[in-house]
Chains A and B, each alone.
Chain A
Amino acid sequence: MCLAVPLKLVEIEGYEGIVEMGGIKRRVNLSLVENPQRGDFVLVHAGFAIAVINREEAEKTLSLIREMEQHS
């Protein structure tokens, strides 16, 4: 029911930030996430960041896929 996309946080100014993907940028409201850092991927839904993507966990999922591909 809820479309949300991981976008790179390229700037932070107070409770607002700027996210970027494929050269397209938009202001994002950061009020709902704690301690976002520049360079983080944030999950954006309707103009709000609702989560900071956990890089380690993302990497785990991705390497699981890569491993499967190596073993096939």
Chain B
Amino acid sequence: MDRVSLSVGSGGKLMRDFVKEVIVETLGNPYLEQFGDSAHVNLSGDLCFTTDSFVVRPIFFPGGDIGKLAVSGTINDLVVAGARPLFLSLSLIIEEGFFVHDLKNILSSVRATSSSADVLVVTGDTKVVPKGDADQLYINTAGIGQKLVEPGNIREGDVLIVTDCVGDHSVAIMVARGEFDFWGDVQSDCRPLHSLLPLWDMGVKWMRDITRGGLATVLCELAEEKHIPVEVWERDVPFSPAVNALAEILGIDSFYLASEGSAVLVAPQDKTDEIIAFLHGIPEGRHASVIGRIGGKGKPGEVVLETASGGLRYLEPLTGELLPRIC
């Protein structure tokens, strides 16, 4: 069988064989091999529980694929909530006719990504829908993690740190789609951020991955939720040359471009050096930088940007789509 057929989704032996040979074999772990209706896991204490759905076009892109994206995204939601990710669920909605070898490749990256973070996919489901009813492959996940810390109180003078460059995922996807005819060697930063977990022991008070809506939107949520003023220094925000280039050419504000492997955090000022040194020592934190602080010139709930040329402006949450401008 080289393509997924509708009959695979109809239950019965064909489906069981497919799940066994394609999915379980690729993901391979003792929980899945039991073929139970639900996974039995042994946990206690404070837990975090998250779910997410993944729809991306193209499903293979430079730096990753929908499988890596799904596992990373779920892991990262737990990490930034202060939890050690442990178990995942994985549901596939497959369009009839999808190539089996593509599916195997995607599941291999699910396995590679989850095992790199010591996380197990313990349960899952597969549905096949008629051609045209879905776009190739959708993935839904849930994740369970052990809560490690209760985040501390944010106060004026705390520093804002981004763990790495911002916006690479958006740009890689735009280029991979061939949108507006750009091309170039640009990789998505899609990756699991479990290596950031030790930061919680260094006094980090708040963390968020910089996904849809970009840095601006995430910081606006911080300012609004905690009712605090936030100040950001444009000069210190790390953007890769490709992100800067595409943003400039298309007239898009790079503060709204998404990452899938970078986070922003709040920490006490006296921990800055320790945190930055730690981040610079791991691959996920090579371009870590202090980009601002809590307080400054705005009112509570506002994010004020000190621009590279020394002026001030507000950052607002993303509204609408990011479209290229000619003006």
Q: Chain B: how many interface residues by the 8 Å CB criterion? A: 22
In the complex, the answer to whether B175 meets A3 with C-beta atoms within 8 Å is no
Complex-state Cα separation, A45 to B327, whole angstroms: 9
Known contacts A1-B327, A3-B325, A45-B326, A25 near B248 by CB under 8 Å: no
Q: Which A residues are in CB contact (< 8 Å) with B327?
A: 1-3
Chain A interface, number of residues (Cβ within 8 angstroms)? 17
Determine if A24 and B249 form an interchain contact, defined as CB atoms under 8 angstroms apart. Answer: yes
Give the shortest distance, in Å, between B166 (CB) and chain A (any CB).
Answer: 14
Q: Give the docked Cα–Cα distance between A22 and B182 (Å).
A: 12
Give chain A nearest CB distance to B325 CB in angstroms. 6
Give B63 Cβ to nearest chain A Cβ, in Å. Answer: 13
Please report whether the interface of chain B is mostly helix, strand, loop or mixed according to DSSP. helix
A5 to B181, CA, bound (A): 16
User: Contacting B249 at CB < 8 Å: which of A1, A23, A44?
Assistant: A44
Instruction: Please pick, from A5, A24, A46, the residue contacting B182 in the complex, using a CB distance under 8 A.
Output: A24
Q: Evaluate contact between A23 and B245: CB separation under 8 angstroms.
A: yes
Q: Say what secondary structure dominates the interface of chain A.
A: strand
Further 16 A-B residue pairs, CB within 8 A, beyond A1-B327, A21-B249: A2-B326, A2-B327, A3-B325, A3-B327, A21-B248, A22-B243, A22-B246, A23-B184, A23-B185, A23-B186, A24-B182, A24-B242, A25-B183, A26-B181, A26-B249, A45-B326
Chain B residues in the interface with A (C-beta under 8 A) = 171, 175, 180-186, 240-246, 248-249, 251, 325-327
